[in-house]
Amino acid sequence: MKDAYTRAGVDINAKNISNKLLGKIVSATYSPEVLSDAGFFSGMYEFKGYRQPVLVSSTDSVGTKTRIAIALDRYNTVGIDIVSHCVNDIFTCGAKPIFFLDYIGIGKLIPERVESIVSGLAKACRDVDCVLIGGETAELADVYHGDDFDLAGFIVGVVEKDRIIKGESITAGDVVLGLPSNGLHTNGYSLARKIFGESRKALEKQYDELGRTVGEALLEPHICYNNQLKPLLTHIKGMAHITGGGLIDNVPRTLPDGLGVRFDSTKWDVPPIFPLIQRIGNVDRDEMYHIFNMGVGMVVICAPESVDKFTSDIPEVKIVGEVQKQAGEKRVVID
């Protein structure tokens, strides 16, 4: 007979099994600076090696992309998504990721499923030399029903105070570069699910434009730009991570007052998932550019004389626009 807590919807034994599985995965990301063991009440990190360290933090969730993972019973990519998203956010000011914590709220704790999620978290952390220092898995059957779960993350990074990138040196005539996305990343899934559906049958439908199922395209992991751009930080004047709000809302966040950007949309490739969404959902072009990244996952602004350095070091980078003096309230124009 099940004990009272299990009957109430919380399986302590399952959580203990899950914690044992996760301990090995998490500790594999540790560096000598970590002073606590996996499973302790808190994560401890010895901070050293900086003259004027500025801590940089960010938090976010995978959003309703979890619904696609649930429908397809595929959980190994959403952890990559949330780490990449958070790393990209703090990288926009030049910060190095130090450690990451996750939160998984779940209706029914199935250890193997949580292990798959955390394996993705750990892989993405290792790729950028970031410690997965801790997290919480909460079994909340009264909040999340059936296979429902939520995944959120919190990251802490560091940057020398005199090396912070805030876009303050951007001037008219600077060049706007775009690094490609591979799809939606972690934004726009509420609309995508409404258009395609979220049943397994709907997500396993093949589309000629995609050359694969729509579910496979929608679960493509969020790209992390840290490793590509880190060697070029001294050439960067400003960066914008293109998430919810698209180019329209995100690029102005790094621009000084009085400046805007004009983009030439013919200069980069738009992944086929976006025209498919636009066609099937009958979505207006301007709305598409306001919801989705439309093929540009990270915008970098640099002086004209630095462009060759980027294009030679990162072959896939494209010149996508120019900084101009702002005319009117509209700070981003997409031709």
- Considering only CA atoms, which of 104, 112, 109 is closest in space to residue 82? 104
What local confidence, expressed as pLDDT, does residue 327 receive?
Answer: 64
User: Distance between CA atoms of 26 and 131, rounded to whole angstroms?
Assistant: 8
User: Distance between CA atoms of 315 and 292, rounded to whole angstroms?
Assistant: 23
What local confidence, expressed as pLDDT, does residue 12 receive?
Answer: 46
Give Cα separations from 277 to 16, 112, 125, 143 (angstroms): 42, 33, 31, 31
Tens of pLDDT, residues 80-89: 999 999 999 9
pLDDT at 4 over 50: no
What local confidence, expressed as pLDDT, does residue 26 receive?
Answer: 60
Report the CATH fold assignment for 4-163. Answer: 60s Ribosomal Protein L30; Chain: A; (3.30.1330)
Give Cα separations from 262 to 91, 125, 175, 207 (angstroms): 23, 35, 10, 33
Tens of pLDDT, residues 227-241: 999 999 999 999 999
**Mean local confidence (pLDDT), 71-76:** 95
CB 319 within 8 A of CB 175: yes
Helix, strand or coil for residue 131? strand
What local confidence, expressed as pLDDT, does residue 41 receive?
Answer: 55
Q: Checking DSSP bridges between strand 318-325 and strand 149-160, what pairing results, if any? A: unpaired
* Mean pLDDT, the chain, whole residue set: 89
Instruction: List residues bridging with 134 in a β-sheet.
Output: 101
Report the CATH fold assignment for 175-334. Answer: Phosphoribosyl-aminoimidazole Synthetase; Chain A, domain 2 (3.90.650)
Helix, strand or coil for residue 182? coil
- Taking residue 9's Cβ as centre, other Cβ atoms within 10 Å add up to 15
pLDDT at 166 over 50: yes
**Mean local confidence (pLDDT), 206-210:** 93
Where does residue 178 rank: exposed (0-12), middle (13-18), buried (19+ CB within 10 A)?
buried
Residue 109 binned pLDDT confidence (cut-offs 50, 70, 90): confident
The rounded percent of the chain whose pLDDT value lies above 70 is: 87
Where does residue 53 rank: exposed (0-12), middle (13-18), buried (19+ CB within 10 A)?
middle
CB 186 within 8 A of CB 85: yes
Instruction: Give the E-state strand segments of the chain in sequence order.
Output: 53-61, 96-106, 131-139, 149-160, 175-180, 206-207, 212-213, 238-241, 259-263, 296-302, 318-325, 332-334
Residue 210 binned pLDDT confidence (cut-offs 50, 70, 90): very high
What local confidence, expressed as pLDDT, does residue 21 receive?
Answer: 55
User: Distance between CA atoms of 13 and 26, rounded to whole angstroms?
Assistant: 20
What local confidence, expressed as pLDDT, does residue 95 receive?
Answer: 94
For the chain, which residues make up each domain, given as ranges?
4-163, 175-334
What local confidence, expressed as pLDDT, does residue 47 receive?
Answer: 78
Tens of pLDDT, residues 267-294: 999 999 999 999 999 999 999 999 999 9
